[in-house]
Chains A and B, each alone.
Chain A
Amino acid sequence: MTYSSIVFYAFSLILVASALRVITARNPVHAALFLVLSFVTAAGLWLLLEAEFLAIALVLVYVGAVMVLFLFVVMMLDINLDRLREGYWDYLVPALVVAFAMLAEMAAVLWGKYFSLGSMPPPAPLPANYSNTRELGRLLYTDYVYPFEIAAVILLVAIVAAIALTLRRRKDSKYVDPARQVVVRRRDRVRIVSMAAEKPRTAVQETEEVTG
């Protein structure tokens, strides 16, 4: 057994175990953190496949941004576990059907004649200075430039739509407008006026104030 296959089996074990814990953990925050662990482990497996750009992008996007926001939401929820478990037996039959369908599909791919390991030889090892990122960028911006641009526009529309759908302005709420606050200058708020000095007091008046 080579070193990379030991690493592969160790990572696979962690990946499967943490993926199982995502659906079995009672605490939703723990489940979300196990999902983070499975993302990181999957990134490790992709690194073994020499797909370093995809692996790092997985960590950067899913672990660094998506799951943080997900944790935000999960942490704020006050989840009642009993109510979540209410419909368990009702959903069991459709869930089993879906699970069986997924299992059958994966078995068809992995055990089938056309996808077996024999018909897919391992790719030739790449030289050490081969940059996965550069190749991917070159392909995305030359051969696949139109699909790539269309996907980008669709994502942009989705972002704008998501914000527009959830944005509700309450008319009666009071809020500050930072853009107006930062343009404020001192002369808008404070006015310095010069006052005439009072009439100078006599020495007698001053001693009376101190003693009396």
Chain B
Amino acid sequence: MDLHYLEQFFGPMWPFVWSIAKIVAIVLPLFIAVAYLTFAERKIIGYIQVRVGPNRVGPKGWLQPIADALKLMTKEIIVPTGANKFLFLMAPILSIMPALAAWAVIPFDPNLVLANVNAGLLYVMAITSMGVYGVIIAGWASNSKYAFLGALRSAAQIVSYEIAMVFALVGVLMMSHSLNLVEIVQRQGSGWGLVSWNFIPLFPLFLVYLISGVAETNRAPFDVAEGESEIVAGFHVEYSGMAFAVFFLAEYANMILVSALAAIMFLGGWLSPVPFLPDGFPWLLAKIAFVLFLFLWFRATFPRYRYDQIMRLGWKVFIPVTLVWLIVIGGWMQTSLWLWQK
């Protein structure tokens, strides 16, 4: 396609239009992926529980997410009495913003990345750490005790697991000597395929990252923030219609983001697992899908954690494990027994 005609048509507005076009090119497929992730979740959990799952809307139920979206869009948004209206409506936006903004630095290919910045990993950590505001403001602005309790639980959980998650990523930094996500992936490709990926030398950190990722996104078995049996639906109990849908979108977009980061940091991004097949974007897609499947599998398998056990796991198990493994990796790298790139 020749872009010169378009460039002439827009004139000085072209850089702005081109940036918007690139953002849409990332966000639109992401939203479609979110919609079909909800469908995949219902189908996969259905089959795990020996049910069929949604199969009425469209052929084999494939139009179900679109029907859900239409339903949520046409429903009324109810603002509770005594709620802080501005913050109440602001909270869903604050919770989806980080889930979308973090995609700016995610590389899909060595050349296909919106912003190839040096401090990419730091940027992702900083942006995702802002996600907790959506939850905590939603809980406070709803003027409801269930929402407030859910928000407090969730915020404490997210802040605690963030530490373990960031420590796990420090191991990735030690492996790759760079904060740039493209370089992090390229360091993992030494021609040996699967065995040169980060997840083998950093296996304990990979597990900690994966489980902390489940806790960070408030997914089962760490979904005490919306524990239905105790606090109704947690921080978003007062939300309805599109405001609720935005929280829902944010949760699933965050799941995809955590999976994409796991694929890039530990599973070699777009690199091929075997040396004789070419590298490329489909591999990244397959790895993201695999990690997402783990998320759904966890939800269908494990009962919900009790709150004090979640805190114990985060502070007394994960953080010490990451610290010990960082020391092990640091020492191992200095010896001649180190098998990976230095």
Q: Which A positions have Cβ atoms within 8 angstroms of B? A: 29, 33, 36, 52-53, 56-57, 59-60, 63-65, 68-69, 71-72, 75, 129-133, 176, 178-179, 181-182
Contact = CB atoms under 8 A, between A and B. Distances in A.
15 contacts: A53-B119, A56-B125, A60-B122, A60-B125, A64-B129, A64-B162, A65-B159, A65-B162, A71-B140, A131-B118, A131-B179, A178-B308, A178-B309, A181-B309, A182-B309
A179 B179 contact: no
Interface in B115-136: 117-119, 122-123, 125-127, 129-130, 132-133, 136
B152 interface: yes
B271 interface: no
Given A59-B130, A71-B140, 19 more contacts: A52-B117, A52-B119, A53-B122, A56-B123, A60-B129, A63-B129, A64-B162, A65-B129, A65-B159, A68-B132, A72-B136, A72-B156, A129-B118, A131-B179, A132-B118, A178-B308, A179-B312, A181-B309, A182-B309
Looking at B122, B162, B178, B309, the one whose CB has the most chain A CB atoms below 10 A away is B122
A52 B118 CA distance: 9
Contacts of A131: 118-119, 178-179
B153 to A, nearest CB: 11
A132 B179 CA distance: 11
Contacts of A133: 118-119, 122, 179
B130 A63 contact: yes
Contacts of B129: 59-60, 63-65
Contacts of A33: 87, 137
B276 to A, nearest CB: 33
Interface of B: 87, 117-119, 122-123, 125-127, 129-130, 132-133, 136-137, 140, 148, 152, 155-156, 159, 162, 178-179, 308-309, 312, 316
A64 B130 contact: yes
B126 A60 contact: yes
Nearest to B86: A30
Name A's interface SS.
Answer: helix
A178 B119 contact: no
Contacts of B136: 68, 71-72, 75
Q: Which of B126, B148, B178 has the most CB of A within 10 A?
A: B126
Contacts of A176: 308
A132 B130 contact: no
A181 B308 CA distance: 11
Contacts of A75: 136, 140, 148
Contacts of A72: 136, 152, 155-156
Contacts of B316: 179
B232 to A, nearest CB: 19
Contacts of B178: 131
A27 B188 CA distance: 51
B122 A56 contact: yes
Contact of A29 (B118, B130, B140, B156): B140
Nearest to A130: B118
B178 to A, nearest CB: 8
B312 A178 contact: yes
A36 B133 CA distance: 10
Contact of B126 (A59, A71, A129, A178): A59
A33 B178 CA distance: 33
B159 A69 contact: yes
A12 B137 CA distance: 26
Contacts of A52: 117-119, 122
Contacts of B125: 56, 60, 64
Contacts of B152: 72
B118 A68 contact: no
A94 to B, nearest CB: 33
Contacts of B132: 64, 68
Nearest to B151: A75
B95 to A, nearest CB: 13
Contacts of B179: 131, 133
